[in-house]
Structure 1
Amino acid sequence: MDAHDIDDPFSDLDLEKAIHLRWTLRDIKAHRLTLSPIADDDLSLLTERGLVEVSDGVPTLTEAGQDAIN
């Protein structure tokens, strides 16, 4: 992993997918999951990259997840 990967956790993905995942992080942060449910694949990807943690079935942003959308 190079420095760019640390700055952009989605650098290996196509632009459309990266934008989609950033919006998903924003939905998690704003508690909009009822209106915008997260696809299992997206949640798995975000969790694997350390951007989201799931506790009692509720996803929350990690510090890295916060950094990815700030």
Structure 2
Amino acid sequence: MDDHTDDDPFADLALEKAIHLRWTLRDIKAHRLAMSPVDDEDLALLTERGLVDVSDGVPTLTEAGLDAIN
């Protein structure tokens, strides 16, 4: 089994959904939320997986979130 599979927070998701969520993480990192608002369900999923923290309604990446896109 590939070692990276264990580290992939999206390994259990369909490929298209995983790609979409990685782009969502990139949008959060680049502060593009005015142009690309995060869907509430996506934000909940990313928060549950420890990839995003939300403070005062503003999502920011955690270390795990940064690792997921690097």
Q: Taking structure 2 as the reference length, what is the TM-score of the superposition?
A: 0.93
Q: What residue in structure 1 maps to residue 28 of structure 2?
A: 28
Displacement after TM superposition at 1:68 (Å): 0.0
Letter in 2 for 1:69: I
Sequence identity of aligned pairs in percent? Answer: 82
Structure 2 CA distance, aligned partners of 1:26 and 1:42?
13
List structure 1 segments (4+ residues) > 4 angstroms apart after TM superposition: none
Give unmatched runs, 5+ long, in structure 1: none
Kindly report the root-mean-square deviation, in angstroms, between the aligned alpha carbons of the 2 structures.
0.9
Q: Taking structure 1 as the reference length, what is the TM-score of the superposition?
A: 0.93
Letter in 2 for 1:15: L
Give unmatched runs, 5+ long, in structure 2: none
Q: What residue in structure 2 maps to residue 39 of structure 1?
A: 39
Displacement after TM superposition at 1:16 (Å): 0.2
Q: What residue in structure 2 maps to residue 64 of structure 1?
A: 64
